[in-house]
Amino acid sequence: MAIPIAILDCDLLLHGRGHKTLDRFDLDSVSDNTLLTQFGFPRDFILYLVELLREALCRRTQRSRAISPEVQVLAALGFYTSGSFQTSMGDTIGISQASMSRCVSNVTRVLVEKAPQFITFNGCDIHDALQLHDEFQRVAGFPGILGVLDCVQVAIKAPNSEDSSYVNKKGFHSVACQLVCDARGLLLSAETHWPGGLQDTVVLERSALYKQLQDTEEGWLLGDGRYPLRKWLMTPVDCPESPAEFRYNLAHTATHEIVDRTFRAIQTRFRCLDGTKGYLQYSPERSSSILLACCVLHNASLQSGLDAWTLERTEPLEQPSGLKQRPEDRDSQAEDLRKQLIRKHFS
């Protein structure tokens, strides 16, 4: 009996009945090594992720031959960890390149919806602040830290419009992502939607984090020399003179490096974000969503017991250029606080 063409899935048309079709795919049929090498995560975490996203993914695909949550999750992980819709990736899980693209869109949207569940900054709460202080002080002896701050760039294709706001100081199009992480590499804040042409200080001043930290008295973030010194944001001493100032700068650098290592690990695991492999072939809005989805996965994997730092940085750290601050922008109270900090803890 002839089957009406309207009910056939494009993957069935492409591969025929002998291929692994969507409703027959069995995650148990894939080896542990394949899951780890092609999809970037061990079986237990992938199964956890499928259950976490199952209800939302099923709501989004209520067709009679809907792609299963298992296949959607693997398709998305395959893209995040490789950066491409390779035919071999689709063959592994039995779907076409077009279906892989739809799966990535679905999973990305659901992960972005989950972001508030996995990425939270509670540094203004006294109990959480004290725990953050203790964990950071064990790194290099720097007291009072609530998190380490940085702004990173992820390369994207040039937007269709002639919008120069996405051209960063290095001359390529990007989205800027402001990150704060704790001493373990867990992201406390990730704002991924900023145009790459904005200065780091402008991103900070426009961010939700900036408003949240204005009145905190529980500690401070650490930022590099691109940021202004504030009572809640400790930066290096520009021209250290005393031994105490040198010790302060050394402890600052050793601790601040955590956020650099964390983003390096995220780029290593999620190669779609690694600019050396090419750029994200999407609009700024979709690229920002993919970046946030990868940040959610990073935190979810860390909270599940996986290692945060999959690769140690081997090349020298890029030295940020110092902020050219106008005299009227200086914060005398912050300068006094930093002097007290140096005198009390680094003399």
pLDDT profile of the chain (347 residues), mean per 10: 34 38 62 87 95 89 71 92 70 78 94 97 83 96 97 92 86 96 96 96 95 90 96 96 97 97 93 83 94 97 85 52 60 95 96
Report pLDDT for 97: 81
**In the numeric block, which tokens belong to residue 51?**
């259950």
Report pLDDT for 60: 61
Note whether 269 and 298 are within 8 A (CB).
Answer: yes
Q: Which residues contact 88 (CB under 8 A, 6 or more apart)?
A: none
Say which amino acid occupies 239: C
Note whether 269 and 275 are within 8 A (CB).
Answer: no
Measured between alpha carbons, how far is 309 from 152 in angstroms, rounded to an integer?
A: 17
Task: State the DSSP code for 233.
Answer: E
Instruction: Enumerate long-range contacts of 112-118, CB under 8 Å, 24 or more apart.
Output: 112/289, 112/292, 112/293, 112/296, 113/56, 114/52, 114/53, 114/296, 115/190, 115/292, 115/295, 115/296, 118/296, 118/299, 118/300, 118/303
Alpha-carbon distances of 33 from 19, 78, 104, rounded to whole Å? 22, 14, 22
Alpha-carbon distances of 32 from 23, 36, 268, 292, 298, rounded to whole Å? 21, 6, 20, 27, 20
Report pLDDT for 1: 39
Report pLDDT for 191: 97
Predicted TM-score (pTM) of this structure: 0.87
Say which amino acid occupies 141: G
